[in-house]
């Protein structure tokens, strides 16, 4: 089953390994990212940073069979780089039944983006994407680590409107 | 008296800087910081009494990416300073009953410190803006030196809050123990209960596989060994 | 143009500045200003021409965040690539791609080894030791931590400067994730030993009842925390329960 699909600009790093994996009891990590999949350096670095018994797959988003991941007998965590990739994953067949929870963990500041949580900056387009995913039945939240209080879509929109 | 608070402020400020902005060589962890704080106030033994439980209590205070931990260094200086100054007012060395009162009074400062850290991060956005402006003005050397400006705010926050917490403890603890001398015995027990819980907190923070087995096993084994050795010696 | 090299003196200065990586940690760029501060002396050597120097610094003011010790390796590797950019052998995107690719995985490695294994292990070692022999144990634990952490911090900086991408197999050979697992298990055991010493000390200083109360606090406290109880409230409950037990016992015996 897919325990969580997480948006993180840095993909695999300490917050994922030290907090989410133990909290969710994850047994497999799938990095769905075209750039990482095509970089030998990225593949080597990601493989060496995880504990030996935890398998990590690094594949282009289009190559991921979400149905098969959802049908697996163990908890899987899927990492994508940007909010736009969530929409891409949905277009590629990801359904709320396969992965009910979408977590926005780290999105760095950029032009047009406003502060939603200390680690998440979103643009108007990205908020619209999250709203559409919510309407499609996904549960969307923004937070970097499980011990933080999650911000749901209403809260995200409220903070976006309040931020300048 | 005033000098003690000045010393506490400087120690807390330097610890706050070492904790994140510069070096990070464990000097701002409670195990090192509490004895150093005690030593700076002329009572290293008092610092040594609180150092192990505070280190273990906050063993899991770890800065992962943008996720901030409690400000264990601020809490440690306030607690140690408060305990030493309260002991001085009572004319005794730091005892478990004084120490536990200092913990109960000052530990929440660690949470206040985390809040302050959040504001410091927002404040630091301005340093980047200054650096970008300097770079646009054609001075790369000056631009990057704004980095060091970020050391000031954490220093100031800890240097103000730690002496304030210690002052509260130094005022409340002697008054309380003089008014209720019978509290000493129970407070002593409270200190050992707290220290034992702190050890449990350390074990939990380490998140090892099969941690319960290791923790309870080592606790039981060491207890039996200690009792046997104690029995053999007596 | 002859291939430019950064002299050893400048590299030493860069490494010193790496110690200030997180001085201006900010929300938008995180360690960006710290990274630019660290690498600036090397850029000044490689790009004597003001426009190119400014352009180089601008690219290093972009977002960056990593574990502060592992980041030293990325600074070293970025200089490795900047030397080649300055010599016209690589595009200006090479150091940026290096940073972007490695910051996440090396952060995971550093967080997993230094922050959640070696440092708490040394903390537990110092704490358990201090309960028995005092200051020498504290000094030994800090020295152990700093010898290991500084040799890795400096060693990886140098390895990445010399080898660029080749630092990854060097790091892989260190076997940090496995070492971290062992340190965590040993750290947990040290916490158990520390709890036992507290129990015995309590019994010695305040009677058998104190030992029993402390043992209960350790045993039940661990169970509560493992089930997700919040730390500070649990600590207050433990201390107050200890106090209350003593008061209750006192009333019982004196009545």
ipTM: 0.98
Confidence (pLDDT) at C255? 59
- Nearest Cα to A81, choosing from A159, A13, A3, A161? A13
Q: Do A19 and B67 touch (CB under 8 A)?
A: yes
Confidence (pLDDT) at C1? 46
Distance from C-alpha of C105 to C-alpha of A53, rounded to nearest angstrom: 17
Taking the domains of chain C in order of start, what are their residue ranges? 8-168, 177-254
Distance from C-alpha of C70 to C-alpha of C66, rounded to nearest angstrom: 7
Of C65, C109, C168, the CB nearest to A10: C65
Q: Is the model's pLDDT at C199 over the cut of 80?
A: yes
Taking the domains of chain B in order of start, what are their residue ranges? 2-233
- Nearest Cα to A26, choosing from A2, A48, A46, A47? A2
pLDDT digits (tens, 9 = 90+) for C107-120: 999 999 999 999 99
Mean pLDDT for the stretch of residues C50-61: 97
Of A39, A108, A115, the CB nearest to C101: A39
Confidence (pLDDT) at B103? 98
Distance from C-alpha of C211 to C-alpha of C26, rounded to nearest angstrom: 47
**Residues, chain C, total?**
255
Distance from C-alpha of A4 to C-alpha of A26, rounded to nearest angstrom: 9
Where residue C91 falls among pLDDT bands split at 50, 70, 90?
very high
Q: Is the model's pLDDT at C2 over the cut of 60?
A: no
Confidence (pLDDT) at B66? 81
List A7's β-bridge partners, or say none.
A80, A104
- Given CB atoms, is C112 within the 8 Å cutoff of chain B? no
Q: Do A17 and C103 touch (CB under 8 A)?
A: no
**Cβ within 8 Å of residue C6, ≥6 positions away:** C14, C42, C45, C46, C79, C83
Confidence (pLDDT) at C6? 97
Mutating which of B59, B60, B61, B65 best tests the A interface, going by the most A Cβ atoms within 10 A? B65
Confidence (pLDDT) at A51? 85
First-residue to last-residue Cα distance in chain C: 95
**Residues, chain A, total?**
164
Both structure tokens of B110: 């660690």
Q: Is the model's pLDDT at A164 over the cut of 80?
A: no
pLDDT digits (tens, 9 = 90+) for A95-134: 999 999 999 999 999 999 999 999 999 999 999 999 999 9
Where residue C4 falls among pLDDT bands split at 50, 70, 90?
confident
Confidence (pLDDT) at B230? 87
pLDDT digits (tens, 9 = 90+) for A39-73: 999 999 999 998 888 999 999 999 999 999 999 99
- Nearest Cα to C111, choosing from C167, C180, C19, C168? C180
Both structure tokens of B118: 């959040």
Confidence (pLDDT) at C131? 97
Distance from C-alpha of B20 to C-alpha of A158, rounded to nearest angstrom: 32
pLDDT digits (tens, 9 = 90+) for C122-171: 999 999 999 999 999 999 999 999 999 999 999 999 999 999 999 999 99
Spans of chain B below 70 pLDDT = none
Percent of chain C whose predicted confidence (pLDDT) is above 70: 98
Both structure tokens of B98: 């004084």
Confidence (pLDDT) at C250? 82
The angle that helices B72-90 and B109-136 make with each other, rounded to 10 degrees, is: 130
For chain A, list the domains and their CATH numbers: 2-162 (3.40.35.10)
Query: Sign of the C-alpha dihedral, residues B114, A15, C169, C123?
Result: positive
Query: Shortest Cα distance from B228 to chain C (angstroms)?
Result: 12
Which chains form contacts with chain B, at 3 or more CB pairs under 8 Å?
A, C
Distance from C-alpha of A2 to C-alpha of A24, rounded to nearest angstrom: 10
Confidence (pLDDT) at C3? 53
């Amino acid at each position: 089953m897919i325990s969580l699909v997480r948006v993180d600009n840095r993909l695999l790093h300490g917050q994922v390994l030290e907090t989410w994996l133990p909290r969710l009891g994850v047994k497999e990590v799938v990095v769905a990212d075209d750039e990482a999949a095509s970089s030998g350096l990225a593949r080597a670095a990601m493989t060496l940073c995880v504990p030996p018994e935890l398998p990590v797959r690094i594949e282009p988003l289009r190559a991921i069979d979400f149905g098969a991941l959802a049908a697996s007998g163990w908890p899987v965590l899927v990492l994508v780089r940007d909010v736009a990739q969530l929409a891409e994953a949905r277009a590629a067949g990801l359904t709320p039944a396969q992965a009910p929870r979408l977590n926005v963990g780290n999105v760095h500041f950029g032009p047009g983006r406003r502060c939603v949580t200390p680690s998440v900056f979103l643009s108007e387009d990205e908020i619209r994407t999250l709203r559409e995913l919510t309407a499609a039945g996904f549960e969307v939240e923004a937070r970097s680590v499980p011990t933080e209080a999650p911000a749901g879509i209403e809260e995200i929109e409220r903070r976006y409107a309040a931020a300048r | 008296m005033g000098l003690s608070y000045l010393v506490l402020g400087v120690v807390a400020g330097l610890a706050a800087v070492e904790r994140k902005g510069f070096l990070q060589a464990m000097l701002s962890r409670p195990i090192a910081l509490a004895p150093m704080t005690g030593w700076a106030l002329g009572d290293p033994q008092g610092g040594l009494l609180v150092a192990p439980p505070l280190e273990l209590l906050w063993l899991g205070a770890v800065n992962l990416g943008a996720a901030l931990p409690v400000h264990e260094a601020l809490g440690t200086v306030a607690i140690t300073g408060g305990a030493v100054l309260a002991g001085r007012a009572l004319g005794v060395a730091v005892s478990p009953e004084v120490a536990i009162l200092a913990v109960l009074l000052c530990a929440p400062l660690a949470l206040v410190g985390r809040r302050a850290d959040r504001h410091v991060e927002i404040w630091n956005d301005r340093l980047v803006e200054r650096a970008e402006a300097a770079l646009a003005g054609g001075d790369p050397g000056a631009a990057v030196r704004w980095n060091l400006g970020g050391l000031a705010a954490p220093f100031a926050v800890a240097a103000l809050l730690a002496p304030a917490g210690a002052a509260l403890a130094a005022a409340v603890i002697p008054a309380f123990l003089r008014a209720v001398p019978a509290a000493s015995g129970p407070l002593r027990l409270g200190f050992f209960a707290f220290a034992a819980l702190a050890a449990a907190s350390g074990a939990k923070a380490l998140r090892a596989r099969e941690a319960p087995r290791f923790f309870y096993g080592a606790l039981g084994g060491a207890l039996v060994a200690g009792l046997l050795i104690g029995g053999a010696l007596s | 143009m002859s291939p430019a090299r950064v002299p050893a003196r400048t590299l030493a200065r860069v490494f010193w500045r790496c110690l200030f990586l997180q001085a201006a940690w900010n929300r938008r760029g995180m360690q960006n200003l710290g990274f630019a501060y660290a690498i600036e002396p090397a850029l000044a050597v490689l790009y004597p021409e003001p426009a190119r120097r400014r352009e180089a610094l601008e690219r290093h003011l972009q977002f960056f965040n990593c574990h502060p010790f592992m980041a030293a390796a990325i600074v070293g590797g970025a200089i490795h690539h900047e030397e080649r950019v300055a010599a016209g052998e690589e595009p200006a995107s090479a150091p940026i791609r290096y940073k972007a690719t490695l910051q996440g995985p090396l952060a995971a490695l550093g967080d997993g080894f230094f922050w959640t294994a070696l440092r708490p292990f040394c903390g537990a070692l110092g704490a358990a030791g201090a309960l028995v022999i005092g200051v020498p144990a504290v000094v030994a634990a800090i020295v152990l931590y700093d010898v290991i952490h500084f040799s890795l911090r400096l060693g990886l900086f140098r390895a990445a400067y010399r080898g660029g991408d080749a630092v990854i197999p060097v790091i892989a050979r260190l076997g940090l994730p496995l070492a971290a697992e062992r340190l965590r298990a040993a750290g947990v055991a040290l916490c158990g030993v520390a709890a036992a010493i507290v129990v015995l000390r309590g019994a010695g200083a305040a009677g058998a009842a104190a030992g029993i109360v402390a043992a209960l606090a350790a045993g039940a406290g661990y169970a509560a925390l493992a089930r997700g109880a919040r730390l500070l409230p649990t600590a207050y409950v433990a201390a107050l329960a200890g106090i209350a037990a003593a008061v209750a016992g006192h009333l019982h015996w004196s009545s």
